[in-house]
Structure formats: structure tokens, C-alpha cells
Amino acid sequence: MKQIAILGSTGSIGCTLINIIKKDKSNFNIKLLSCNSNYRLLINQAMSLNVKNLIITDKKYFFKVSKNKKYNNFNVFNTFEDFHKVFKKKIDYCMSAISGISGLMPTCLIIKYCKNIAIANKEAIICGWPIIKKNLKKYRTNFIPVDSEHFSIWYGINSLDNFNIERIYLTASGGPFVNLKLNKFNLISIKETLKHPNWNMGKKISVDSATMMNKVFEIIEAKNIFNLDYNKLSIFVHPKSYVHAIVKFTNGMSKMIIHDTTMKIPIFNSLYLNEKKKIKSSEININILNNLNLSKVNKKRFPLTKIINFLPKNNSLFETVIVSANDELVQLFLEKKISFLQIQKFLLEIVKSKLFLSYKQSKPTSIKRILSVNKFVRLKVREMCI
């Protein structure tokens, strides 16, 4: 049986993976599941898949579960520093799907305990890639990207040397406002922002999709994962979300990776890496292929894509500044304290601010330092905007 762990099992990625495993559960032994506060769903997942080890990071719900006698069959922990109590030898696979900067530490810590790690946490790859890369090498752990775009690139490259890559194109749907008249952007509501035309996502990433900040983050991820310069990475707007990536090689050949608009496919393939497993999927959609409607990014519509021009060549704490500032601005928007357009306005001001530009010279050498910068930036952003 393949031994696995799922960090963030109650989120959308975790739930999708759980549903895949349930159809083949005789071949899996899940050693650990984790959540922040959704303990009821976590318990249901654990019971249905006979999981004994749980991590609940919210102290209130951790105590609620750990002190309840009806949950005595579970080993319940509160911190990821208890990994050593669960894993006595390397497991086969771990999905790291905790959202936000809080997913950085557990991602870095669990690499030691797994042979293969699939990382769906953007913030970990953006802010802590040097630490992750160092741990992957130290513990000889294989890394698999899970984002549909990065998995598509990874699949398309198929172990080729990045010297052979001339350019990579990531596709972006453009979100709910891809065709909205620019003079109506000042009227955008939260409800409209969260209504993505193709993907069913959480609030935070739905806002990031609408501003296209999620694609800026994915460009940073691609630069890190595939060890490429930013000048080899581009974005195409593709409203259908059918093409996930295009790789152009130096020999004149190009690969276009397409799949159904679902995260189930990259998650399934990360789980069954190098195994002859089949998944049901739709027939090739000729109608979409005949009208891909790819276009370059309109920077008046999506001004945050200009941030790519401000990114330093080497990994730095400036990426943490951008992630943290955007997180706080999105939260302020969802709290109705700033408008949609103000997310863009403030973030563009922040990336040019002398207060934060100095972080381009600082390397992300420790998780503690990254989390400290995150806290500082979020406080400063809130002071600036309220």
C-alpha cells in the first residue's frame, strides 16, 4: 500500500485528492490529515479512510477534539513540529495544500519525511523556494508542481534540460472582468469579483484571478520551479481555460498542453506518478480548439501584471513583500474597506515604495525571517490604507 499524507485535506485541493483516493482506497494508507478549523470534515475524512493521525492547528478546535472521549481513537496534534511522532520512515507521497503563508513551514518540514511531495501552496514556492530546494536536495525528495499551469509545463518538458526552452506561455482566463468596459471597473462589487466563469475557487484566489495577480504569482513560481529568467516567461489571456501552458523549444518545436477545466487531472497524475492509471476525461473539444481566442495581456485592464517588471532576478524577500501586501489588500477589499481598483492602486504603489525596495537585496534564508517580513508588511499595508 502507498503511504501518504495530506496537509490541508479539508480545502478544495485536499477534498479533490480525498475523492480520488476513495475510489482506490485499498491501495492507500493515509498516515496523516491536517486542517486549521474545519475539524468536522477532517473527522469525517479520517473515519471514511481509517486515518489515525490528525493535526488541527486552531487551538480552540484542537482542544475540542483532543478532550472529547469519542475521538479517543485518533492521535490528535496541534503543531506540524509533531511530524516526527507520526512518521517513523519516509512515506511515498505528500500533498501540501495548505493555503496562504501558513503553508510555508509545514511544507518545508515535511519534505524530510516523504519520497515525493506535491506542492499546491503558492506562497511556499514564491517566498521560500531556496529553503524548499535545499531540503529537496538534502532529503532526496522528488518535487511535483500541482497548479494546472505548472503541472502542464512540467509534463510538457518531461525532464528536458531548460537550455532547450525558448519561452513558456502561461494562460490566464482573465476572470469575470475580461470583457468588462474599463469605465465600469470603479463599480465592481465583491459578489461580481467572486463569480469566476470557469473555476470554483475560494474567495482569495477568486479576487487574485480577477486582478490577474494570481498569474503574476504563477510567473514567479515558474521562474523558480523551472530555473528560468523572467524574460523567458509570458502570459496569454485564454478565457476558455482549456490550454494550460505552451512551451516553445529552441529546436523550433512547441507543445501545447490542454485538459479539462478541473484540478482533478493534475492532482490525479501527481498521485499516480509513473503508474499506468486511467482517468475519465472529456473528448478533445474541437469547437474550443478552433476558437482558442488567445491574446496578449491588456495592461490597462490588468495593471498588476506590470509588477513582473519590478521583480529581482534572484530570490529575495521582495517576493514575500508582494505576497503579503496583496494578501492584506484582498482582505481589506473583502472587508469592504477598499475598492477593487484600490487593490491595484495600492499594490503598484507598494512595489515602488522605498520602504520595501530594500528587501530586494535580502535573501529568504529562514522561515522565521519570511514570516517576520509577512507580519511587518501586512501591518504597514493596513496602516497605509485605513
Q: Please tell me which residue, 161 or 187, carries the higher pLDDT value.
A: 187
Q: Is 336 exposed, middle or buried (0-12, 13-18, 19+ CB in 10 A)?
A: exposed
pLDDT tens by residue, 281-337: 999 999 999 999 999 999 999 999 999 999 999 999 999 999 999 999 999 999 999
Between CA 235 and CA 176 the distance in angstroms is 17
Please answer whether residues 108 and 367 qualify as being in contact, where contact means their C-beta atoms are separated by less than 8 angstroms: yes
Between CA 386 and CA 306 the distance in angstroms is 25
> Residue 160 has what pLDDT?
66
Q: Where in the chain is the domain with CATH 3.40.50.720?
A: 2-146
Beta strands in 278-362 (DSSP E): 295-296
pLDDT tens by residue, 209-221: 999 999 999 999 9
Among 381, 85, 116, residue whose Cα is nearest residue 270: 116
Spatial strand order of the sheet with 233-237 comes to 254-258, 243-249, 165-172, 233-237, 295-296
pTM to 2 decimals? 0.94
Mean pLDDT in residue range 65-73? 92
Query: How far are the Cα atoms of 54, 124, 133, 147, 219 from residue 224, in angstroms, in the given order?
Result: 31, 11, 9, 14, 9
> Residue 329 has what pLDDT?
97
Between CA 7 and CA 195 the distance in angstroms is 27
138 membership: H or E segment, kind and range: helix 122-138
Between CA 220 and CA 232 the distance in angstroms is 12
Between CA 9 and CA 274 the distance in angstroms is 23
Please answer whether residues 332 and 338 qualify as being in contact, where contact means their C-beta atoms are separated by less than 8 angstroms: yes
> Mean pLDDT of all residues in the chain?
94
> Residue 158 has what pLDDT?
75
* Predicted confidence (pLDDT) at residue 199 exceeds the cutoff of 90: no
pLDDT tens by residue, 9-64: 999 999 999 999 999 999 999 999 999 999 999 999 999 999 999 999 999 999 99
Instruction: Output phi, psi for 42, to 5 deg.
Output: -60, -45
Which three cell numbers mark 158?
518531461
Mean pLDDT in residue range 88-113? 96
β-pair partners for 6: 33, 95
Q: Which residues contact 1 (CB under 8 A, 6 or more apart)?
A: 26, 27, 28, 29
Neighbours of 270 (CB within 10 A): 21
pLDDT tens by residue, 335-368: 999 999 999 999 999 999 999 999 999 999 999 9
* Predicted confidence (pLDDT) at residue 253 exceeds the cutoff of 90: yes
Q: How confident is the model at residue 159 (pLDDT cuts 50, 70, 90)?
A: low
* Predicted confidence (pLDDT) at residue 150 exceeds the cutoff of 70: yes
Between CA 156 and CA 160 the distance in angstroms is 9
Neighbours of 368 (CB within 10 A): 9
Among 91, 72, 77, residue whose Cα is nearest residue 28: 91
CATH of 2-146, one of 3.40.1380.20, 3.40.50.720, 3.30.930.10, 1.25.10.10: 3.40.50.720
> Residue 313 has what pLDDT?
95
Mean pLDDT in residue range 175-199? 92
CATH class label, 312-386: mainly alpha
Return the percentage of the chain with pLDDT > 70, whole number: 99
Helical spans, DSSP H, in 255-304: 264-271, 286-289
Q: Where in the chain is the domain with CATH 1.10.1740.10?
A: 312-386
* Predicted confidence (pLDDT) at residue 184 exceeds the cutoff of 90: yes
Among 146, 202, 123, 170, residue whose Cα is nearest residue 20: 146
> Residue 163 has what pLDDT?
75
